[in-house]
Chains A and B, each alone.
Chain A
Amino acid sequence: MNDRMREKRMGYIFSVPAFAFMIAVIGFPVIYNWYISFTNMTSRTFNSGTISFSGIENYITVLTDPDFQTAFINTLVYTVCCLIFQFSIGFALALLFNQKFRLAKPLRGFLVISWIMPMTVVALMFKYMFSDSGIINYLLQQLHIIREPIEWLTSTKMAMPSVIITNSWVGIPFNMLLLATGLSNIPADVYESAMIDGANGIKRFFYITLPLLKQSILAVLVLGFVYTFKVFDLVYVMTGGGPINATEVLSTYSYRESFQYFNFGTGAASANVLFVCLFLVGLIYVKLIGKEDENE
C-alpha cells in the first residue's frame, strides 16, 4: 500500500511540472481566447479598461466578412490540394524506397531535409525560384512548355498553386516516412504466400498493401490535414496573403485582425473557427489512436 502511494507520488513529481506548464501556456490561453472572442476587445478598449461583452457579434462580423469567407475557402482548397499531392507522391516514394537497392537508405534520409528546414528559408527559396526571371520560368521556357514567363506569385490566379507546390515539397518526405514505416511493418510472408497463389503486383497492392496499411494511411491524412490547415509562415513570407487576398488563409486573416488592426475580438473569433475545424478532425485522430492502442 505504502509502495503504491510512493509510486503515485513519484509519478506526479516527474510529470506534473510539464503538464502544469502546458496548461498555463496553452490550456489557459485557449479558454481565454473564447472569452476574448465574446468581447469588444481592441487595443483601445484593452488599455482604457472598457471591455464589455458583445455576445456573438464578433462571430457574425467575421462570418459575414467576404475576406474571411475567401480565407476559409482558400484554406480548404490549399489543404485539400496539398494533401492530394503530398500523399500521392509520398506514397509512391514510400513504395519505391521500401524496395531493397543501393542508395535507398541514404537517399530516403536525405529527402527528409525539406521537412526540417526553417519554413522561412523554404518560403524565400521558392519565392526566388518562382520570380518572373526565376529558374522555374526559365526551365519551362527552355522546355517549350510556356512561351511567356508565368507570373507565379504576382497574379491572383497562380499565387495559390505556387504556395501549394511549395508546401507539397515540404510535406512529401513526411508522408513518405510515415507510410514507409507502415509498409515495413507488413510481414514479408504475406506477400510470399500471395505470390504463390498467383497474385500479380497490382493485385497484391490492392488486396494486401492497401488494407494492411489502412491505419497508417488514415493517420497520415489526418495529421497532414492538421499541419496543412494551420499554415502561417509559408504564406506570410511568400505572399503575405496576396495578391488581393488570393492566398489569404485563416491564420493570416486572424493574425491581421489581431496584430495589424488590433481587433483582438475578431482575431480571437476567427482563430476559434480555425480551432473548431481542427478539433473535429482531431477527434477522428484521437479515435484512431485509441483503436490502435486497443489492438496492441
Chain B
Amino acid sequence: MNRLSRFMYKKKNRSAVYTIIAVLIAIPLLFPLYWVIISSLKGDAEIFRKIPTFFPKKSVVETYVSQLTNPDTLRAIKNSFIIASGSTVLSMLLSVPCAYGLARFRFRGKKVMIMTFLVTQMLPSSLILTPLYLIFNKVHILNTYLAPIISTATISIPFVILVLRPIFASLPKELEEAGRIDGCNRFTAFFHVILPISKNGTVTGLAFCFIYGWNDLMYSITFNMKETLRPMTATIYNYMDLYGMKWNYIMAYGVLVSLPVLILFIILQKYIVEGLVSGSVKG
C-alpha cells in the first residue's frame, strides 16, 4: 500500500512538473497574441507611453469602433468574405469528389494524379505569379474577384484531397452497396451516404479552404490593382501609412483580420490539428 501511494505521488509530482514547464514555455510563445489584443485596446495616450503597460489602464473600444465605422474597412471585410467563400466553394466542388474518386475507384493514371497533387502543393506561388498575371490579363479577369478566387483554390484543392482521400478510403465499401440496394446510384450514394458519414473530414476541408482564401496576400496585391477589390490582408498594409505609428489602430485591424480564422480554429480545433498532420505528410 505504501509503495503504491508513493508511486502515485511520484507520478502526480511528475505531471505537475511537466505542466509547469509546458506553461512556462507556452507563455512566451503565446505572448505575441496577447500583446496584439492588449495593444488594440489601448487609448492613444497609453500606446505612446515610454514604459509599456502590460494591462491596459483603461481599455477602450474606440479603435474597433473607428475601424468598423470606416467604409474602407467594411469594404475590405466584404471583399475578404467574397474571396474566401468563393475560393471555398470552388475548391470543395472540385476536391471532394476528386478525393472520393481517388479513394474508391481503380483507374489508369490514378498514381500520376496523386503525385501531381502532392507536387503542386509544394510549388511556390511566386513561380506561377508572372505567367498567371499574363494569362489572366488575356482572359480579362485581372481586377476581378475571380483572379484571387481561382488562384487561392490551387492551394486548397491539393490539401483537401490529401486530407480527405485516406478518410474516404477507410470507409467500408459495404456502405455504398447498402445505399445502392436502397435505390441510390453511385452519385446519390456519394451524397446521401458517404458525405454525411465523413462529415468531420469534410468540415475540416471546408475550414482549411476558407482559411487559405482568407489569408492570401500575394495573389490579391498582384492581380487586383483596384483598391476597391482588395481583401483585409492586402489593405492592412495601407493602414501603416494612414495611421502612422498608431499601433493600437493597426493592431485592432489585425485582430479583426484574424477573427474569422481564430473562431474557426476554436470551434474545429481538434479536426484542424489532425487535418494539418494528415494533409502535410501522408500521400
Task: List the interface of chain A (C-beta within 8 A of B).
Answer: 4, 7-8, 10-15, 17-19, 21-23, 25-30, 32-33, 36, 46, 93, 96-97, 99-104, 107-122, 124-126, 128-129, 131, 133, 135, 138, 169, 172, 174, 177-178, 181, 216, 219, 223, 226, 229-230, 232-233, 236-237, 250-251, 254-255, 258-259, 264, 267-268, 271-272, 274-275, 278, 282, 285-286, 289, 292-293
- Among B105, B215, B272, contact of A11 (Cβ-Cβ < 8 Å): B105
CB-nearest residue of chain B to A17: B94
Main secondary structure of the interface of B (DSSP, over half): helix
Q: Are B25 and A93 in contact (CB under 8 A)?
A: yes
- Residues on B with C-beta less than 8 A from A119 are 215, 217
Q: Are A258 and B272 in contact (CB under 8 A)?
A: no
Interchain nearest-CB distance for B59 vs A (Å)? 18
Q: 10 closest A-B pairs (Cβ-Cβ)?
A: A14-B101, A11-B105, A230-B124, A18-B98, A15-B101, A11-B107, A29-B131, A251-B126, A101-B18, A18-B94
CB-nearest residue of chain A to B256: A121
Q: Are A26 and B154 in contact (CB under 8 A)?
A: yes
Q: Which of B36-80 contact A (CB under 8 A)?
A: 36, 39, 50-52
Most chain B beta-carbon contacts within 10 A, residue among A14, A107, A129: A14
Interchain nearest-CB distance for B136 vs A (Å)? 10
- Among B100, B123, B150, B222, contact of A14 (Cβ-Cβ < 8 Å): B100
Does B108 sit at the interface, judged by CB under 8 A?
A: yes
> Which of B1-9, B112-120, B196-204 contacts its partner?
B112-120
Most chain B beta-carbon contacts within 10 A, residue among A128, A135, A255, A293: A128
Interchain nearest-CB distance for A191 vs B (Å)? 15
Q: Are B127 and A274 in contact (CB under 8 A)?
A: yes
Q: How far is the CA of A271 from the CA of B126 in the complex (A)?
A: 7
Q: How far is the CA of A12 from the CA of B94 in the complex (A)?
A: 13
- Among A10, A111, A138, A232, contact of B126 (Cβ-Cβ < 8 Å): A232
Q: Are A116 and B35 in contact (CB under 8 A)?
A: no
Q: How far is the CA of A229 from the CA of B123 in the complex (A)?
A: 11
Interchain nearest-CB distance for B101 vs A (Å)? 3
Task: List the interface of chain B (C-beta within 8 A of A).
Answer: 14-16, 18-19, 21-23, 25-26, 29-30, 32-33, 35-36, 39, 50-52, 94-95, 97-98, 100-102, 104-108, 110, 113, 115-120, 122-135, 150-151, 153-154, 157-158, 161, 186, 190, 211, 214-215, 217-218, 222, 233-234, 236-237, 240, 245, 247, 250-251, 254, 257-258, 261-262, 265, 269-270, 272-273, 276-277, 280-281, 283
- Among A36, A107, A282, contact of B119 (Cβ-Cβ < 8 Å): A282
Q: A124-B254, A174-B276 are in contact. Are A36 and B214 (CB under 8 A)?
A: no
Q: Are B236 and A124 in contact (CB under 8 A)?
A: yes
Q: Are B124 and A275 in contact (CB under 8 A)?
A: yes
Q: Are B157 and A22 in contact (CB under 8 A)?
A: yes
Known A14-B105, A96-B25, A112-B265; further 17 A-B contacts with Cβ < 8 A: A7-B105, A11-B104, A14-B100, A15-B98, A17-B94, A21-B94, A21-B153, A29-B127, A103-B22, A112-B273, A120-B233, A121-B36, A129-B35, A131-B245, A223-B122, A226-B122, A289-B283
30 residue pairs from A and B, CB less than 8 Å apart: A10-B104, A11-B106, A15-B105, A18-B97, A19-B113, A22-B158, A26-B128, A29-B128, A30-B123, A30-B127, A33-B131, A93-B25, A96-B25, A101-B14, A104-B22, A107-B22, A114-B32, A117-B261, A120-B236, A120-B237, A128-B35, A128-B39, A128-B247, A129-B32, A133-B50, A178-B277, A230-B126, A274-B124, A278-B124, A289-B118
